[in-house]
Amino acid sequence: MGALIIMAMISLLLPSASLGQAADTAKATLPIGTSQVTKQTYPKTVGYLSFIVPIVTVSNTTAYNFSHATGSIGFPVGINVLYSDRFGFSYEFTPTIKSAGGTSKMSNLLFDPGTMFRFDHGFTIITRLAFETSGRYGFTPVFNKVYARTKDVNYFIALSLPARFGNAANASVGLNVQFGFTFN
């Protein structure tokens, strides 16, 4: 609920032209007898929802998620501000729920903004910074692929490699898989 409030606050700070209330497309004027073409107008703001599952984390030891009766899952929500067909900026908040010893709790909140480099065929590389309420910080390269498109949403899968430092803990690197959808 708090993440939705934060998303709403961020969207209010964006220029009114990018709030998604304006039309997504502008019709190009073409000579008589040619077909009509639509072109994206930028900036464009889209929101997304997803879930992320850590697969493995390597530090001084290797830890696999969902081993030894423990596990965690994150629920990233965010806003992407697209400035062109090739570039954008993403603001993401990820609350993480950890289950261990028969109980579960929210264990961390991650804020990880980053630049988006968009390529053909729905492939995007996102370079994120990472700031966690657990006291850790770092960066996360993300490799994202849209695998299905509809009029209202695009479905994506992503692999991320979080590198974390700080809070008197050993440096770590992990592998996560993320599934979600963006609102068009």
Q: Provide the residue range defining the domain that includes 111.
A: 42-183
Q: What is the pLDDT of residue 65?
A: 85
Per-residue pLDDT, 13: 40
Question: Which sign does the torsion angle of CA 114, 118, 122, 125 carry?
Answer: negative
What pLDDT sits at residue 22?
34
pLDDT digits (tens, 9 = 90+) for 75-98: 999 999 999 999 999 999 999 999
pLDDT at 133: 97
Question: What percentage of the chain exceeds 90 in pLDDT?
Answer: 71
Whether residue 5 is contained in a domain is answered as: no
> Which tops the pLDDT comparison, 172 or 1?
172
**Is 124 part of a structural domain of the chain?**
yes
Spatial distance between the Cα atoms of 49 and 127, rounded to a whole number of angstroms: 18
Q: Judge whether 52 lies within some domain.
A: yes
CATH number of the domain that residue 61 is part of: 2.40.160.20
Residue 22: inside a domain, yes or no? no
pLDDT given at position 1: 41
The candidate with the shortest Cα–Cα distance to 57, out of 101, 93, 102, 108, is 108
pLDDT attached to residue 146: 97
Which tokens sit at 33? 């007898």
In the prediction, which pLDDT does 33 show?
A: 56
Count: domains in the chain = 1
Mean pLDDT of 110-122: 97
* Per-residue pLDDT, 18: 33
CB atoms < 10 A from the CB of 77, how many?
Answer: 18
Spatial CB neighbours of 82, under 8 Å, sequence gap ≥ 6? 42, 43, 44, 45, 46, 88, 116, 118
pLDDT for the residue 32: 59
Q: How far apart are CA 68 and CA 65, in angstroms?
A: 9
Task: Name the nearest CA neighbour of 47 among 9, 96, 86, 95.
Answer: 9
| Torsion sign across C-alpha atoms 8, 12, 17, 18 | negative
- Could you tell me if residue 149 is inside a domain? yes
- DSSP of 44-95: EEEEEEEEEEEEEEESSSEEETT-TTEEEEE--EEEEEE-SSSEEEEEEEEE
Residue 76 belongs to some domain of the structure = yes
| Range list of β-strands (E), 101-183 | 103-111, 114-118, 123-132, 137-149, 153-160, 163-165, 172-183
Q: Give domain status of residue 9, yes or no.
A: no
Q: CA-CA distance, 182 to 46, in Å (whole number)?
A: 7
Domain contains 106: yes
- Measured distance CA(4)–CA(74) in Å, rounded: 15
For 135-182, what is each residue's pLDDT tens digit? 999 999 999 999 999 999 999 999 999 999 999 999 999 999 999 999
Contact, 4 vs 77, CB < 8 A? yes
Where residue 36 falls among pLDDT bands split at 50, 70, 90?
Answer: low
What is the β-pairing status of strands 123-132 and 153-160? unpaired
pLDDT of residue 38: 66
